[in-house]
Amino acid sequence: MFIDPVLKKEFDQVAQHKHVHAGTELMQVGDTITHIPIVQKGSLRILAQDGEGHERYLYHILPGESCATSLTCCVSKRVSSVRAVVEEDADLLLIPVRHVDEWMAYPEWRKYVNEVQAQRFQELLEAFEVVAFRKLDEQLWDYLVKRTHATGEHTLHLTHQQIADELSSPREVITRLLQQLRARGLVSLGRGYVEVRPGAVKE
């Protein structure tokens, strides 16, 4: 990942390789963060949670990326404020948190961390815009599109209840909106899956 030979050597010495299967919960709200994940292959889905346990989809972490929330929490010695779920089978590099601060002496690492945080901040602003200003049907379509891009698959193995949980909406409302998307020719629906029609989403 890095060109600086000293940083690269230290990185290779401490990075732990881990393969995790789709659906695995990598991190829960309130967990102590001991390692920072960097995705090599696959993707992670990040969700926020309120005090009553209601969740909200935030963003995906794709290959080459890391979790800005984890980086921020470990630096400030706070517990995790998000839940991380493996979207599709993933290969991860796990970096012990103590190195996050130590490696700030390396310009290349500092640049990487700053870029990750800047990207996530932009995605959080976009997520806020979606929640605050768009109607629920637009929020649903945005959610489906992002999960399609993250998995590289048009068929998403999701129940209406799972979608409702991650969009903090009643299941009946999600079912009605999915049926409207189907009527518009944007999705196909089946038991336990939603297929986003090829051509309906720009790759």
State pLDDT tens for residues 127-183.
676 665 568 888 899 999 999 999 888 999 999 999 999 988 889 999 999 999 999
When pLDDT is averaged across residues 84-96 and rounded to a whole number, the result is: 94
Residue with tokens 């102590």: 32
Mean pLDDT in residue range 110-132: 79
Is 203 strand, coil or helix? coil
The CATH class for the domain spanning 5-132 reads: mainly beta
**Residue 114 contacts by C-beta under 8 Å, 6 or more apart in sequence?**
none
Contact 116, 70 (CB under 8 A): no
Domain limits, the chain = 5-132, 135-196
pLDDT tens per residue, range 23-42: 999 998 888 888 889 999 99
Q: Region 73-85: what's the mean pLDDT?
A: 78
- Which of helix, strand or coil describes residue 77? coil
Least confident of 74-78, 107-111, 168-172: 74-78
* 63's tokens: 């290959």
d(CA 186, CA 76): 44
Average pLDDT over residues 34-63: 87
CB neighbour burial string for 161-173, b if at least 16 within 10 angstroms, e if fewer: eebbbbbeeeeee
Question: Architecture of 135-196 per CATH?
Answer: Orthogonal Bundle (1.10)
143 vs 196: CA distance, rounded Å: 11
- DSSP state, residue 86: E
pLDDT at residue 119, rounded to an integer: 82
Closest CA to 13 of 105, 96, 97: 96
Rounded Cα gap, residues 147 and 150, in angstroms? 5
d(CA 129, CA 117): 18
Q: Burial level of 95, CB count in 10 A (0-12/13-18/19+)? A: buried
Alpha-carbon distance 169 to 146, whole Å?
Answer: 18
